[in-house]
Amino acid sequence: MRTGIATVCLSGTLKEKMQACAIAGFDGIEIFEQDLVTSPLSPGDVRSMAADLGLGLDLYQPFRDFDGVAPDLLKANLRRAEAKFNLMSRLGMDTILVCSNVATATIDDDAVRAEQLAQLAGLAGDHGIKVAYEALAWGKHVNDYEHAYRLVEMVDHPNLGTCLDSFHILSRDWDTAPIEKLDPEKIFFVQVADAPKLTMDVLSWSRHYRVFPGEGQFELAKFMGHVVRAGYSGPVSLEVFNDVFRQSDVDRTAVDAMRSLIWLEEQSAKWLAGSAEAAEGGSAASRRRYPMELATLPKVSEPAGFNFAEVKADDTARLEKLLGQLGFGFEGRHRTKDVQLWTMGQARVIINEQAASHAEPSIAALGFDVDSPVIASARAQQLKAPVVARKVQADEEVFQGISAPDSTEIFLCQGSPDGTAAWTREFGEGLEHRTPSGGPGAAAVIDHVNLAQPWQHFDEAVLFYTSALALEPQPFAEVPSPSGLVRSQVMTTSDAAVRLVLNLAPVQQARSEVRKTYQEHIAFAVKDLVATARAARDRGLEFLQIPANYYEDLDARFDLDPGFLATLQELNLLYDRDADGEFLHFYTATVGSVFFEMVERRGGYDGYGAPNAPVRHAVQYDSLHRT
């Protein structure tokens, strides 16, 4: 698949954009006209810079409001087009995007449109230019890709074809199956964009909220599958108008963009194989060849669970105290590194003392159990995840590490059927293992981890965990806090053995450094939360103090048994209930930017106590501002 991206997706100058696209590994780019018009680079400069960077200049765009106009305007439009064709020849470009008219069309007649497009195609032919005509979702008269294609067929000129843009097609819910019947010779270009499903006018949706494939909710693999089956083999190019991407670091956004296409390529191949198999049976179908070759990635399967979580700090005393009070046992120090292992049942927490001085405690790394760390790491690296180097001595387990968009280190670990981890033998040689062998924590596991995300990298994080770790984004929630709404995006495996919560903090907090002002946590699940809480209280744990008003409201909502309600209040436990089950949980005080949560899931409860999140935020805010 030939990969491309429109310069309008990115921040910066044309030069910065082109360099970022080359570094990210794109085959070609679309030149967004305004980027050229505002650039000090001459067309010749752009041409030679693209050649030096190994970037194809695949599409000049957009040319607007051409068709269905009165004769005077047609003349001016043809003049305007010729000026652009001349410019394109200096750029060494051969394809221009012409959008269906949204503003100046006064004649709604296919014959007139076809006749005018024929004139344009003729002129383009004289200049060796190909015109890709596209139906905008909000086109005044032409807003359906099949309509645009019919016009292309009516004109039947070698220099006129169509451009298919997933946003314009999927935002209008047009059926994508008929794409397969289009003549591939007449599909001059394919643009892809994803988007969250929003109920708003399609122009605003398009101009502000598009995201890269895998970051939204469109069925892009299916769209691409139909495109491939049509026989198209040209560029597949991102055109994503997004308010945040336009403000973010250009190099980083370009990599995020490239990742989305690599992932889409794999998903499209999968859709094709699955769909062929369903239709024709057997594996022969999946070996069918199409003009567009779709590269594959190292396979991924969902992680089986969390292997460990790592917290770092220069002063680890408060962390050690908290974990001890929660019921974790100290398993010893690593034989060569300044790290400690603490465990409770199958929940393993590493305390990393190697942090720079004056570093407040924060979540540094997560380990996931995967089938094959090497294959998973190879996949992540092909998806452009930065590799994390970790020093190892001979005889120590080598961790495959990659860096997530928020800089959390993700380690891909060899899972074991019994939930143990071989690397733990590197800890605490000769030390007495103090893990309580029974007690309420015996069956503890990491239930979920909640990571604060910088506002610029939220969509990137969703795609990262989707593509590299096969986690599935769940519908997001918005939680009120005293500092604003917190957007909370849960990513899980299908069996919910791994639950990761990405929290997008309000911008006010993100203005300084997210990690400092916004708190993250690790939650552990136990079988008996009340017993765990009592034991922790007896060990002197500092619980997050839940206001009395909360319990009064809880009782109004749930009509709880008075004894049970008293127990909840006595132990600062929070409670939620839905049709599937019940949820009990409590939070510790915060050290640095980290706190811990203990949870008990009863029945089929699958949530996170979302109705209680505002209470947590308010109490944390209050203690932060009191101190």
549 binds its own copies (CB under 8 A): yes
112 binds its own copies (CB under 8 A): no
**Stretches 37-45, 275-283, 300-308, 602-610: which one binds its own copies (CB under 8 A)?**
37-45
422 binds its own copies (CB under 8 A): no
CB of 210 to its own copies, least distance (A): 13
CB contact at 8 A, 11 and 241: no
Count residues binding its own copies (CB under 8 A): 63
CB contact at 8 A, 211 and 193: yes
557 binds its own copies (CB under 8 A): yes
- Per-residue x/- marks for its own copies, 72-91, CB under 8 A? ----x--xx--xx--x----
DSSP 8-class letter at 41: S
CB of 246 to its own copies, least distance (A): 4
CB of 135 to its own copies, least distance (A): 21
**Stretches 4-12, 265-273, 389-397, 488-496: which one binds its own copies (CB under 8 A)?**
4-12
* Residues 384-413 contacting its own copies, CB under 8 A: none
Angle between helices 71-91 and 43-53 (to 10 degrees): 50
* Residue type, position 310, single letter: E
β-bridge mates for residue 621, sequence order: none
Among 173, 391, 559, 627, binds its own copies (CB under 8 A): 559
DSSP 8-class letter at 579: T
Is 108 labelled a binding residue?
Answer: no
196 binds its own copies (CB under 8 A): no
**What span, in angstroms and rounded, lies between the C-alpha atoms of 520 and 363?**
7
Among 108, 280, 553, 570, binds its own copies (CB under 8 A): 553
CB of 102 to its own copies, least distance (A): 16
CB of 94 to its own copies, least distance (A): 18
Among 109, 156, 175, 243, binds its own copies (CB under 8 A): 243
103 binds its own copies (CB under 8 A): no
**What span, in angstroms and rounded, lies between the C-alpha atoms of 376 and 370?**
7
Which parts of 485-612 fold into alpha helices (H)? 507-510, 514-517, 529-538, 548-558, 562-570
- Of 141 and 616, nearer to its own copies (C-beta) is 616
* 3-class SS letters over 345-385: CCEEEEEECCCCCCCCCEEEEEEEEECCHHHHHHHHHHCCC
**What span, in angstroms and rounded, lies between the C-alpha atoms of 174 and 157?**
26
Which one, of 593, 591, 594, 595, lies nearest residue 572 by Cα?
A: 595
- Of 87 and 107, nearer to its own copies (C-beta) is 87
β-bridge mates for residue 489, sequence order: 502
CB contact at 8 A, 148 and 135: yes
* Residues 465-524 contacting its own copies, CB under 8 A: 478, 480, 482-485, 506-508, 511
**What span, in angstroms and rounded, lies between the C-alpha atoms of 56 and 50?**
7
Q: Which residues bind its own copies (CB under 8 A)?
A: 8, 11-13, 16, 33-34, 36-43, 76, 79-80, 83-84, 87, 198-201, 204, 207-208, 243, 246-248, 455-456, 478, 480, 482-485, 506-508, 511, 545, 547-550, 552-553, 555-557, 559, 614-615, 617-619, 621-622, 625
